[in-house]
Structure 1
Amino acid sequence: MKFYLGIKITFDFLLAFIGLLLISPLMVVIALLIKLDSRGPVFFKQKRIGKNRKYFYILKFRTMRTDSPKDTPTHLLQDPSKFITKTGEFLRKTSLDELPQIINILKGEMSIIGPRPALWNQYDLIEERDKYNANDIYPGLTGWAQINGRDELPIDIKAKFDGEYVKRINLLFDIEIFFKTVFSVLRSEGVKEGRKAETSK
């Protein structure tokens, strides 16, 4: 495991660099659509928990209005549709809003595969992850919990999946998660927007 974690950093950087070169035209198009759709910056920065509980600022394409509540997970908002822009709705549904996190990976703040980085104030999730040492590794663009329920998972179950990833971490497992993520995104699985969606399930 220690050996793989060492080379995983190199793999992450190389794959992120190649990925950035390939998708940069798409990112330019998305940036233009965001600027045409609503006022505000192209990117959205948010304080998250990184490896060993160190803070960093995650990058996303902005999908919500600038007057949206800060540091609140979207699935906990009463009616997030009031804040999500038209372009943002499409970006969130297709997970294209996550693409700028390639920059976080290049900066050495994230990995391609790992537990999704918790908000700095998601204390319940952070504490649950501590039980499984899931805060001791780099957070990921996608992870084991992401393809096993995503927003639909209760905090304790999500943390258990993250802990399982820590125990099983290896190259083949990462490859499995990567390809399952692709299929999960194509089917828009586990995406939940707002408390209304939560109570209706």
Structure 2
Amino acid sequence: MTRLLDIFFASVGLILGSPLLLLLTFLGWFDTRSPLFRQTRVGRNQQPFTLVKFRTMSVGTASVATHLASSNAITPFGSFLRRTKLDELPQLWNVLWGNMSLVGPRPCLPNQHELIVARESLNVFTALPGITGLAQVQGIDMSTPEKLAQVDAQMLQTLTLSNYFRYILQTITGKGQGDRIKV
């Protein structure tokens, strides 16, 4: 059922949001000359996939978890994109392609071994990764891998249609802080 909802909402989001996506791509071009960011992430059953986002950091920034990245790497436009969570919009393509869901555990990087081990032990990788979820609306990021894996597992065990919509609505209305950046 959630896959059908994912396809429907991602399609509607991409169609209705296409003017905004084009505007952000245009503005991103002037910011970094490379508005889209592609990165290998760990998906369902630990299969790698390419995640697409709007670029928020300077080109050439090391591919590390956000909490390990320097705040100096974030561009002024990137800061706006992160604050408004608009950097996540291109992930609607990942949802349509079937390697993400709107709701699920945020996909980690292949080098986040501690988080991968914790998630593996709690069977979190049986689900598609998501754009948002319980951890995101509670402000829990990848800087606390054990806690994140536990909250992800809790979310998957209690994921109902009601919670699916609640997490999406809470994300749209600005609940949660997003990933922390070291200062």
The TM-score bracket by the shorter chain reads: over 0.9
Deviations 1:110-139 (A, max 9, x none): 000000001111111111111221111000
Match of 2:46 in 1: 53
Residues 66 and 179 of structure 2 are in contact (CA less than 8 Å); yes or no, is this contact kept in structure 1? no
Distance 2:178 2:10 in 1: 25
Please give the TM-score of this superposition, normalised by the length of structure 1: 0.85
Distance 2:84 2:154 in 1: 26
Long gaps (5+) in structure 2: none
User: What is the identity, as a one-letter code, of the residue corresponding to 1:31?
Assistant: T
Distance 1:133 1:152 in 2: 17
Q: Which among 115, 120, 145 is matched to residue 105 of structure 2?
A: 115
User: What is the identity, as a one-letter code, of the residue corresponding to 1:37?
Assistant: D
Please state how far the C-alpha of 1:190 moved relative to its aligned partner. 4.6
Match of 1:74 in 2: 66
Deviations 1:153-195 (A, max 9, x none): 621111111000111122111112112222335xx6254211x
Equivalent residues in 2 for 1:13-32 (5 A)? 13-32=7-26
User: What is the identity, as a one-letter code, of the residue corresponding to 2:57?
Assistant: M
Please give the TM-score of this superposition, normalised by the length of structure 2: 0.93
Distance 1:149 1:189 in 2: 5
Residues 47 and 57 of structure 1 are in contact (CA less than 8 Å); yes or no, is this contact kept in structure 2? yes
Distance 2:24 2:100 in 1: 22
Match of 1:4 in 2: none
Root mean square deviation of aligned Cα: 1.6
Deviations 1:33-74 (A, max 9, x none): 1111233x221000101111110010001111112112x012
Q: Percent identity?
A: 37
Residues 141 and 180 of structure 2 are in contact (CA less than 8 Å); yes or no, is this contact kept in structure 1? yes
Distance 1:37 1:184 in 2: 24
Equivalent residues in 2 for 1:116-195 (5 A)? 116-151=106-141, 154-185=144-175, 189-194=177-182
User: What is the identity, as a one-letter code, of the residue corresponding to 2:169?
Assistant: F
Distance 1:55 1:38 in 2: 26
Distance 1:156 1:163 in 2: 11
Long gaps (5+) in structure 1: 1-6, 197-201
Secondary structure in 2 aligned to 1:145? helix
Please state how far the C-alpha of 1:152 moved relative to its aligned partner. 7.6
Distance 1:95 1:139 in 2: 17
Distance 2:178 2:93 in 1: 25
Secondary structure in 1 aligned to 2:127? coil
Secondary structure in 1 aligned to 2:153? helix
Distance 2:161 2:20 in 1: 28
Aligned pair count reads 183
Residues 74 and 80 of structure 1 are in contact (CA less than 8 Å); yes or no, is this contact kept in structure 2? no
